[in-house]
Structure 1
Amino acid sequence: MSEIVVVYELDKPVATGSSPGTPSGEERPVRTVHAAPAAPGAPTPTGPRTLCGRDTFAMETTRWNPSEHPGASWYPVEYASVVCPDCDAVIEA
């Protein structure tokens, strides 16, 4: 499989009071973690769709790079409970 990029599908902003480092006291929790093919030579790091077919336009690209972590999961372990099962199945195939 070619290089993949991990992207987060985020929930709507949630007011958190005063949280350091979070602009305007809002936090956008991760709803689902998806995988998208890298877009070589394109101005954006991901292709237009995730491996499960969702649009990547409104998703946030993560700093997690699976190729930098041989033997680890393709997604950050702290988000294992919200991994897209369809993206995971494509990667496992």
Structure 2
Amino acid sequence: MAWLRRSRDREQIRPLVELTGQLLMGEIDAASYDERFRGLFHLADGLDEQAWLILDTLFVECDCYVEDPSLRDQPIDLDEEGLRAAAVRALVRLALV
């Protein structure tokens, strides 16, 4: 995978990328991903600005994830499918950095 030019950055966020892969492979659900991603987000500290912005955007999209469909009352609220789509976008964008 050709993502992030600096190998230090790749290693630094490997747990976030692996976690995202688990979501996309169906190994974990969106609620677990949301909780674990938030706990690992500090790993993005010190990345180059482009990579940090990609992960920060994904953090915001995690914040928009609402597990309970009856509570999704805002246009920005995401269901599991929306969170998965956000995760795919983030991985694609990281591959281009």
Decide: shared fold, TM above 0.5: no
TM-score (norm 2): 0.25
Q: Which has the higher contact order (CA 8 A, sep 6+)?
A: 2
Say which one has the larger Rg.
1
